Amino acid sequence: MSDAVIPAQLAHAWSAEPAITVPLALAAVLYARGTKALWKRAGTAHGVRVREVAAFAAGWLVLALALLSPLHEMSETLFSAHMVQHELLMAVAAPLIVLGRPLVPFLWSIPAAWRRGVARAFSSGWPAGAWRVASRPSVAWLAYAVAIWGWHAPRLYDAALASAPLHALQHATFLGTALLFWWALLHSARRRYGASVLYLFTTAVHSTALGALLALSSRPLYPAYASTAAWGLSPLEDQQLAGLIMWVPACLAYLVAALALMLAWLREADRRVPRPVVVPVSLAAAFLVLALAGCDREADEISRRELVDGNAARGREIIPAYGCNACHSIPGVRGTDARVGPPLKGIGSRSFIAGVLPNQPDNMIRWIRDPQAVDSLTAMPNLGVSARDARDIAGYLYTLR
């Protein structure tokens, strides 16, 4: 633990540790480079939206503030300052960074050949299996809870303050498990809203319990924080203030996120309510003729393809131009063996598109042109596909049975 910082030294207590500044700078450069490349290909605000870039920038700034500002030096002396730093890392910076969808710009920041290699490396074999397990909401929730409670054990906490490597590991564990926790909840919430809300609520409960234990304790639990007099606090008052910070503001962040997911859940349920479909008389007659003729599943797929009014051959040729091969395996299209997204084999005969929309021509075109307008939590970016290209791509996808 470094020498105690007093208020008069605070203005000059900024940090510039390479172990912190270099990763922060690298993350910013990769995100900016990838966003620029993506917007150059797909158009401004396509692929990564402006509000997502803003969320990442805000999360990055909060992260820099927590780790490089005088708050970092204060945290060596005050338990309450250390608690503020940890909550900024876990409950503010982490969800903002996750909302910024950094994986998409990070992938686009590297050359296309490397991009496909990275996608293949992490979409098959043991890396893909390990990620599937680690990113399960239940596993991410447990890892996050263990990190919070484990590092606040008095002996381990004091040991982290006495050892720079252990202190760095503590911060890395807090931030890493927080990013995993928020990613698992926010990016899998479309199909598990109820579970995500439950995980956030239970996180708020156990964090509140730990905060209450610290705030209501009758004696100081962390001997390392004994030099707080310069700040006008006794060690016990400092600990009680730290407990209140974990108890109230941090708990509020989880509850606000839970309410936001509940609202998204209601909107999603509203979108899934069947809407009346107006069918032109000519199309209705065509379907009636097919029905009377005993149309089978293949005939239905052919009718879908014809209703798109797209050039399937051209659609197959232009798919790589939009970078679809970086994420999907698409039969008949060269270089599309990536598995970041689901394989598109058989998409022409599926009942739903992305598990959300009935598989109809208008919906297929709508999904291709602006997937995030259909499902705000989808990882599929808006690539600025034109109306004509979307019809042609849909025409080809309906040939895949």
pLDDT tens sequence across 7-32? 777 777 788 889 999 999 999 999 99
Q: Kindly state the helix (H) or strand (E) to which residue 285 belongs, with its residue range.
A: helix 281-292
Contacts of 340 (CB under 8 A, 6+ apart): 119, 122, 123, 326, 327, 328
If you average pLDDT over residues 188-217, what whole number do you get?
A: 87
Query: Does 298 have pLDDT greater than 70?
Result: no
Distance between CA atoms of residues 163 and 3, nearest Å: 13
Of the two residues 26 and 394, the one the predictor is more confident about is: 26
Mean of the per-residue pLDDT values for the chain?
82
pTM above 0.75, yes or no: no
The pLDDT of residue 111: 86
DSSP annotation of 92: I
Neighbours of 345 (CB within 10 A): 13
Domains identified in the chain and CATH numbers: 7-272 (no CATH), 281-397 (2.60.40.420)
Least-confidence region, from 150-154, 298-302, 348-352, 395-399: 298-302
Q: pLDDT grade, residue 189 (50/70/90)?
A: very low
Q: Contact, 72 vs 66, CB < 8 A?
A: yes
pLDDT tens sequence across 260-269? 988 888 887 7
DSSP annotation of 98: H
If you average pLDDT over residues 267-280, what whole number do you get?
A: 60
Query: Does 359 have pLDDT greater than 80?
Result: no
The pLDDT of residue 280: 55
Residues paired with 353 in a beta bridge: 357
Give me the residue label for tokens 């156990």. Answer: 206
The pLDDT of residue 360: 74
pLDDT tens sequence across 77-120? 999 999 999 999 999 999 999 999 998 899 889 887 787 777 77
Q: pLDDT grade, residue 302 (50/70/90)?
A: very low
Query: Does 287 have pLDDT greater than 80?
Result: no
pLDDT tens sequence across 58-80? 999 999 999 999 998 888 899 99
If you average pLDDT over residues 126-134, what whole number do you get?
A: 83
**What 3-state DSSP class applies to 42?**
helix
Distance between CA atoms of residues 391 and 308, nearest Å: 6
Distance between CA atoms of residues 54 and 56, nearest Å: 5
The pLDDT of residue 167: 93
Contacts of 155 (CB under 8 A, 6+ apart): none
Taking alpha carbons only, the member of 276, 287, 301, 309 closest to residue 390 is: 309
Least-confidence region, from 62-71, 193-202, 274-283: 274-283
